């Protein structure tokens, strides 16, 4: 059995804003094994990115507040470390590739300068060593003529190349965990496939664990071993990727899969949409957050949030209904 490299327990994150309190993450727990790839899926605003930013302590406090939970990295609770200790972990041991490289990269600094800063701070390399390492990193992520591209600025790179440069920065210190926050958003389909293939290849080469955040279930099928489905700040289902596609156990997961385009879908069978809208996160959660949009909901669903029932090894679902029969447990 692989070693457990990260374990998150009962994480709750709030945002205190003028309109009230945003209940962004509501008591989620999950783990990551060494060398494993997990995917966290769900629609925009469900808490995927906030969960990872909470773990890395990158949220501005205030307005953000982590009200409870633990994030155990190799047994150390990241929430109890000093900021100086966290600075040694961020980028060096746990790295993150953000969704939009154009806003993550500094537009007035060259790519070489930005990669070099990571190497200088975490590894203490001298100028020549940084230069050679930076060339090797850009070459590793597939950017042509890396020695010359080091002196270019982010606007001189295409969208796919900027994302590759971000991946190079994230991998500079050979992290144990790579968090990829929707890294293929806004890229065309061909470039998306290249980025997915690149991260898969680098994962194998560097033997690192990967947390892939996405709303695209098609990407999940290609690269993840386990999937966490999030809705309104809750984990509503967890399963191995093959089990999730073959036998979803939560109505929201079933609805997501029904809305996924498939080659084998009959031409006269339309894609299904999910009726209604996500809940208002300014309202304290009560009952199952998916109940207003769920065809199987009954009285208990409105009043009581179901726990994640253990349905098998690495198999959990938060639903009061047996979706295979449509009847309450």
- 261 — pLDDT class (breaks 50, 70, 90): low
Q: Are 153 and 107 in contact (CB under 8 A)?
A: yes
| DSSP conformation letters of 20-34 | EEEEEEEEEEEEEET
Average pLDDT, the chain: 86
Q: What end-to-end distance do the CA atoms of the chain give, in Å?
A: 33
Cβ atoms within 10 Å of 67's Cβ, excluding its own: 13
| CA separation for the pair 166, 208 (Å, rounded) | 17
Which tokens in the block code for residue 114? Answer: 């930005």
**Residues 170-200: pLDDT tens digits?**
888 888 999 988 877 766 777 777 778 888 8
How much is the pLDDT for 1?
Answer: 45
Residue 238 confidence (pLDDT) above 90: yes
pTM assigned to the model: 0.87
Q: Are 69 and 235 in contact (CB under 8 A)?
A: no
| CA separation for the pair 321, 251 (Å, rounded) | 9
Question: Region 286-297: what's the mean pLDDT?
Answer: 89
Instruction: Give the residue with greater pLDDT, 35 vs 221.
Output: 35
DSSP, collapsed to helix, strand or coil, labels residue 4 as strand
The packing angle between helices 189-206 and 159-171, to 10°, is 10
**Residues 44-75: pLDDT tens digits?**
888 899 999 999 999 998 899 999 999 999 98
* C-beta pairs of 187-193 under 8 Å, 24+ apart in sequence: 187/159, 187/160, 187/163, 191/159, 191/160, 191/163, 192/219
**Residues 68-125: pLDDT tens digits?**
999 999 989 999 999 988 988 888 889 888 877 667 788 888 988 888 888 888 877 7
How much is the pLDDT for 162?
Answer: 85
Residue 208 confidence (pLDDT) above 50: yes
Q: Quick one: which of 52, 40, 63 has its CA closest to 282?
A: 63
């Amino acid at each position: 059995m692989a070693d457990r490299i990260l374990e998150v327990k009962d994480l709750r994150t709030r945002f205190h804003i003028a309109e009230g309190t945003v209940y962004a993450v509501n008591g989620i727990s999950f783990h990551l094994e060494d060398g494993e790839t997990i995917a966290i899926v769900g629609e925009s605003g469900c808490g995927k990115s906030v969960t990872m930013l909470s773990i890395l302590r990158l949220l501005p406090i205030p307005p953000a507040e982590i009200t409870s939970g633990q994030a155990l990295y190799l047994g150390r609770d990241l929430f109890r470390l000093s900021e100086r200790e966290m600075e040694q972990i961020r980028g060096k041991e746990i790295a993150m590739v953000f969704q939009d490289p154009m806003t993550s990269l500094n537009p007035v600094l060259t790519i070489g300068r930005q990669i070099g800063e990571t190497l200088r701070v975490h590894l203490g390399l001298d100028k020549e060593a940084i230069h050679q390492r930076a060339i090797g990193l850009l070459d590793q992520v597939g950017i042509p003529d890396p020695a010359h591209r080091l002196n270019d600025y982010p606007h001189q790179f295409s969208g796919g190349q900027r994302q590759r440069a971000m991946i190079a920065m994230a991998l500079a210190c050979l992290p144990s965990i790579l968090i990829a926050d929707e890294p293929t958003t806004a890229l065309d389909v061909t470039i998306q496939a290249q980025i997915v293939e690149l991260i898969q290849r680098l994962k194998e080469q560097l033997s690192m664990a990967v947390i892939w955040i996405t709303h695209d279930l098609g990407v999940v099928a290609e690269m993840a071993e386990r999937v966490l489905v999030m809705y309104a700040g809750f984990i509503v289902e967890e399963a191995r990727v093959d089990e999730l596609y073959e036998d979803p156990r939560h109505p929201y997961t079933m609805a997501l899969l029904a809305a996924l385009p498939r080659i084998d879908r009959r031409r006269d069978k339309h894609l299904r949409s999910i009726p209604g809208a996500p809940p208002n996160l300014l309202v304290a959660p009560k009952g199952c957050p998916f109940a207003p949009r769920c065809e199987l909901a009954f009285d208990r669903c409105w009043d009581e949030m179901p726990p994640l029932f253990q349905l098998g090894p690495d198999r959990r679902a938060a639903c009061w209904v047996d979706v295979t029969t449509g009847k309450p447990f």
